[in-house]
Structure formats: C-alpha cells, structure tokens
Amino acid sequence: MGLKTFSKKEALVFGWNTLKSNPVFFVVVILAWWIVPSLPGFVDSLLGLKNPILTLVFWITSWLLGLILSLGQIRISLNFVDGAPVSYKDIYSSYPLVLKYLVSSFVYTVVVIAGLILLVVPGLFFAVKYGFYGYFIVDKQIGPLAALKKSSELTDGVKLK
C-alpha cells in the first residue's frame, strides 16, 4: 500500500490552483481556524473572573474546538483532493471522530517524544511514519491504532523522501 511516487511540485501546483479557485472559502476557513479556538480564552480574559476552574473549562473547550477544526481541515483537504464538493459545514462535520483522533494523537505524541528522547532521529522517523493517522481516521473512519498502522504502511519505504 506504500506511496511509490510523490511530486512536491505537483502538490504545490495543486495547492496553489485550489487556493486561487476558492479564495473566499479559504479566507473564511482560516479565520475560523484562528478565531474559534481563541474564543473561550478571549471570553475568559474579557470576563476577568480569575477563577481557575472556569479558566480550565475554557482551556479544555478551546483545545477540543482545535481538535474538531483539525479534523475539519483534514476533511476539507480530502474533499479537494477527491474532487468532492466542499462546504463550510466541513469545518465541523467530522466532530464525531474527535475521540478516535484524541486517542491517536496521544499515542502518536508519546511515540514521537519517546523517539526524540532516544537521540532525536528516531523521533523524527516516528513523526513521519505515523503522521498521517488523522487522514485515515477521517477518510476511512477507522480506530486509533488501525490509523497509526495504516500511516506506517503508507510511509513504508519512502520516509526519507
């Protein structure tokens, strides 16, 4: 299943052409990715309650919104690549997958940090090897460990490229 060829130039041209064809969509989506996760912290500082529990709730809310938006970014990317329709609802359409994504992200982070502790290079190797797990969760809606395994298979033999 490994990726055999990949053209950086082709990827950049595709990305640039997609951006040029949908500038308003990308501006709105980028603003959403920037503003939405910041809202809980902004409200917290605006209210100035200085309540640690409420601040923690706002922080967790912001973090979860960021995870949901990350899943949305993956969905939007996959739709563009597949030539499927893209809409603003795609920003949040993958929210049911947030628990799978959270578990995978935790395992991924632990593996990469362990690799970094083992002399940096293994950490970079693991980051590339398992870095596509989110795409498998969104595209195939598979579980956390299966997504990490699929990412490993995808990058088999092409990590240095």
CB-CB neighbours of 97 under 10 Å:
21
For position 111, what pLDDT does the model report? Answer: 87
pLDDT value of position 150: 93
Band of residue 3 on the pLDDT scale cut at 50, 70, 90: very low
In tens, the pLDDT along 55-98 reads: 788 888 888 888 999 999 999 999 999 999 999 999 888 888 99
Which of the two residues, 31 and 156, has the higher pLDDT score?
A: 31
pTM over 0.75: yes
Q: Does the structure show a pLDDT above 60 at 1? A: no
Map tokens 């502790």 to a residue: 117
